[in-house]
Amino acid sequence: MSSLKEICAGLPLDPLPPNRGRDPSIPHALVRTPNFTPAEERLALRNALRYFPPNLHATLATEFAQELRQYGHIYMYRFCPTLRMRAYPIDQYPCRTRQAASIMLMIMNNLDPAVAQFPQELVTYGGNGQVFSNWAQFWLVFHYLSTMTEEQTLVMYSGHPLGLFPSLPSSPRCVITNGMVIPNYSSREEYEKMFAMGITMYGQMTAGSYCYIGPQGIVHGTMLTVLNAGRRYLGSGDLRGRVFVTSGLGGMSGAQAKAAVIAGCVGVIAEVDEAPLKKRHEQGWLMEITSDLSHCIQRIREARRAKMALSLGYHGNIVDLWECLYQEYKKTGELLVDLGSDQTSLHNPFSGGYYPVQLAFRQANQLMNTEPERFKTLVHESLRRQVAAINKLSDAGMFFWDYGNAFLLEAQRAGALVEKKGGGATEFKYPSYVQHIMGDIFSLGFGPFRWVCTSGDPADLAETDAIATAVLEEISSTVTERVRQQYSDNIRWICEAGKHKMVVGSQARILYSDQRGRVSIALAINQAIAKGRVSAPVVISRDHHDVSGTDSPFRETSNVYDGSAFCADMAVQNFVGDAFRGATWVALHNGGGVGWGEVMNGGFGLVLDGSEDAGQRANLMLNWDVSNGVARRCWSGNANAYETIQRTMEDQRQLRVTMPNPVPEDQILDRALQG
């Protein structure tokens, strides 16, 4: 198992690899609690063994049963490869097509220990965002991809490779679905059982679609959110001397420290687990760490006065920090926080996503497994305390928003005072960052566009950075002032990306761009590959958290107010439309961000290889991938989306969108309903 060729040879069965168990030198996922009946436990074991011939069942059954009882899931640690997981240059993968090789590269990047949160459990981020359910699936997928032709498609059912099926060269090479559970059975309790049985999987967003590029993506998105929050709430994008308080430094939340510094503010981030604090500090993303609240308050005051950019990690519970900030305000009259949010993993509140303030870190990890109901009660009590402190600081002048992690949703379920009087089903006392900050940006067509240089050569990334900058600078001279501001933020991001050392894992870049920018950048990169300026194919993709990719009533579509926020047509149509317009692979997921059963989302990967065909695919697919969501947002009544899709129809004669006719006078409705 020392080479990519061996990885592609299929499951190693003769002889079996030694069972080395868990690697103690790396982080591991928390124990899961499926609460199986004896019959369900038996079924889970039977399901795992069907990947192997009968002569191995007696050997493997005992260790798989032990894994299931010890960890709550059968990961098949014996089959975890010894080969270093990373994005190897595309030419090193033994494949018959470069499309298949690009998928392999992206999968291995998702499992790179420098990128993945829990690599041996195949978790990329978010505590439970799986690439696969077990290691047998990994081996089978790589074998299928290595033998695939351009007339086959690999079909993936929630981590399980159903097989290679005949298709057209124009078809996707891989079609992924994760968590497609009948709606009435899409509950957290049912999920824990189904995942432990190996029959469904939570792919988060870009974990299960093989498109994660490390924390760079969330750094950029968080930076834009903080900058635009300053413009909206504080009247300026100059955040020097302003203080942003939040929590979480683990997976995607780990980007908050770096984003705060790039935005120019004082970022104070609470984290209960010492390991991610040390990791972010060693990375250089977190400048200082303290476990002393008095020292924390002192450093906030010093940084505010000096107007210095600072990322300060507080090793402790966010509830203690919020309560301390309020007590300081009550004592001195000085409000030490301007902006506030939260990025704990509240999509997973009772299995390690949120740590109640009443318990120490180790106590919490023990109690969530031994006394889950008591732990749940403590989580709810902690959330009520957290919201109470936030409410008091908000009354004093702090601006708070929900970061789409289900914080306000879970706080409401806990009985915290987050209700918005007269609000709709997706509205709370505080807005989500989509409702007040990023939603209008989505409606302009802007979202997280990204690419990966499959050569692994930093020179290729530098060249594509230069290409993207030139494209955006050219376009920005022809757009409205509001759109120009977004281009300016992203040009600044690209120009400073090298200085901030954003690359972790693959040679990748992200920026927020609109439809015109995405298409133009993709076509320019494709031309550069054709001319040899970029040495190897480039994979283009995006986060599922985008204009069209996600239907999520408490995040991406929380600013849709026509009643359709709970409908998922947009995400499903996007997945289907990307598939037949040229994507190399497509994915559709239940869950992601705010949690299982709360969202439908999808994504894609598209290989640019310098060919005319790749350019045509990119042009057709990227135009659809943005216009779909802008048209839906227009129909829901968003004025920015209305203007954006109008301009797009003027540029594209074949595009025809049904436009809404707003009702300008409420009296018409009143008279009709009173009659």
* Choice among 379-383, 413-417, 483-487, 527-531 with the minimum mean pLDDT: 483-487
Which residue from 228, 264, 222, 225 is spatially nearest to 243, judged by alpha carbons?
A: 264
Q: What angle, rounded to 10 degrees, do the helices at 612-635 and 639-651 form?
A: 140
Taking each helix axis as running N to C, give the angle between helix 57-71 and helix 38-49, from 0 to 180 degrees, rounded to the nearest 10: 130
pLDDT of res. 376? 95
Classify residue 423: in a domain, yes or no: no
- Whether 571 is in a domain gets the answer yes
The predicted structure's pLDDT at residue 148:
98
- Which tokens belong to 179? 């968590």
102 and 235 share a domain? Answer: no
Per-residue pLDDT reduced to its tens digit, 257-276: 888 999 999 999 999 999 88
- Higher-confidence residue of 253 and 590: namely 590
Element (H, E) at 390: helix 372-396
The angle formed by the CA atoms of residues 396, 402 and 408, to the nearest 5 degrees, is 95
The answer to whether the CB of 47 falls within 8 A of the CB of 198 is yes
Tell me: pLDDT of 251 over 60.
Answer: yes
What are the tens digits of pLDDT across the range 595-643? Answer: 899 999 999 999 999 999 999 999 999 999 999 999 999 999 999 999 9
**Alpha-carbon span 253 to 344, nearest angstrom:** 7
pLDDT for residue 658 is more than 70: yes
Residue 425 pLDDT grade (very low, low, confident, very high; cuts 50, 70, 90): confident
On whether both 518 and 407 belong to a single domain, the answer is: no
What is the mean pLDDT of the segment spanning 22-45? 94
pLDDT at 252 > cutoff 70: no
* Percentage, residues of the chain above pLDDT 70: 99
Of 371, 386, 418, the position where a domain reaches its end is: 418
Domain range for 484 is 439-505+507-651
CATH code of the domain covering residue 637: 3.40.1770.10
286 and 382 co-located in one domain: yes
Whether 499 is in a domain gets the answer yes
Asked if 140 and 231 sit in the same domain, the reply is no
Residue 1 has pLDDT above 60, yes or no: no
The answer to whether residue 193 is domain-embedded is: no
Residues 522 and 622 in one domain: yes
Residue 131 pLDDT greater than 90, yes or no: yes
User: Looking up tokens 């303290």, which residue turns up?
Assistant: 290
In a domain, 275, yes or no: yes
- The verdict on 330 and 406 lying in the same domain is yes
pLDDT digit string (tens) for 301-326?
999 999 999 999 999 999 999 999 99
Query: Which pLDDT belongs to residue 545?
Result: 86
Tokens of 480: 């409205």
Q: What is the mean pLDDT of residues 277-290?
A: 89
Look at residue 185 in the predicted model and tell me its pLDDT: 94
Report the DSSP beta bridge partners of residue 586. Answer: 175, 604
Q: In the structure encoding, which two tokens stand for residue 503, read together?
A: 């690359």
* pLDDT at 27 exceeding the cut of 80: yes
pLDDT tens readout for residues 84-123:
999 999 999 999 999 999 999 999 999 999 899 999 999 9
Task: Give the amino acid at 40.
Answer: E
What is the mean predicted confidence (pLDDT) over 131-152?
98
Is residue 536 located within the same domain as residue 593?
A: yes
**Based on C-alpha coordinates, what's the Rg of the chain?**
25
Sign of CA dihedral 66, 67, 71, 72: negative
**Tell me, what's the pLDDT at 503?**
87
Residue 141 lies in a domain: yes
Find the CATH number of the domain harbouring 348.
Answer: 3.40.50.10730
- Residue 673 placed within a domain: no
Is the four-CA dihedral 2, 6, 11, 13 of positive or negative sign? negative
Q: What percent of the chain has pLDDT over 90?
A: 79
- The verdict on 318 and 454 lying in the same domain is no
237 and 288 in a common domain: yes
Amino acid, single-letter form, for residue 405: N
Predicted local distance difference test score (pLDDT) of residue 256:
87
Higher model confidence: residue 489 or residue 300?
300
Per-residue confidence (pLDDT) for residue 201, from 0 to 100:
96
Beta bridge partners of 166: 152
What are 498-527's pLDDT values in tens digits? 777 888 899 999 999 999 999 999 999 999
At residue 223, what is the residue type?
A: M
Q: End of a domain among 133, 165, 197? A: 165
CA distance 340 to 402: 9
617 alpha carbon, distance to own chain's centre: 25
In a domain, 192, yes or no: no
DSSP codes joined into one string, 485-511: HHHHHHHHHHHHHTTTT---SSEEEEE
pLDDT at position 150, please? Answer: 97
CA dist 602 and 526 (Å) reads 24
Assigned token pair, 104: 């392999």
Q: Say whether both 404 and 494 belong to one domain.
A: no
Residues 444 and 572 in one domain: yes
Q: What is the pTM of this model?
A: 0.90
SS (H, E, C) 312-359: EEEECCHHHHHHHHHHHHHHHCCCCCCEECCCCCCCCCCCCCCCCCCC
Task: Please state the rounded mean pLDDT for residues 124-131.
Answer: 91
- Among 142-151, 381-390, 398-407, 614-623, the minimum mean pLDDT is found in 398-407
Give yes or no: residues 392 and 523 share one domain: no
Region of 314 on the Ramachandran plot (φ > 0 left; ψ -120 to 50 alpha; else beta): beta
SS (H, E, C) 35-64: CCCHHHHHHHHHHHHCCCCHHHHHHHHHHH
Task: Indicate the residue among 354, 383, 418 that finishes a domain.
Answer: 418
Longest dimension (CA), the chain: 81
Domain count, the chain: 3
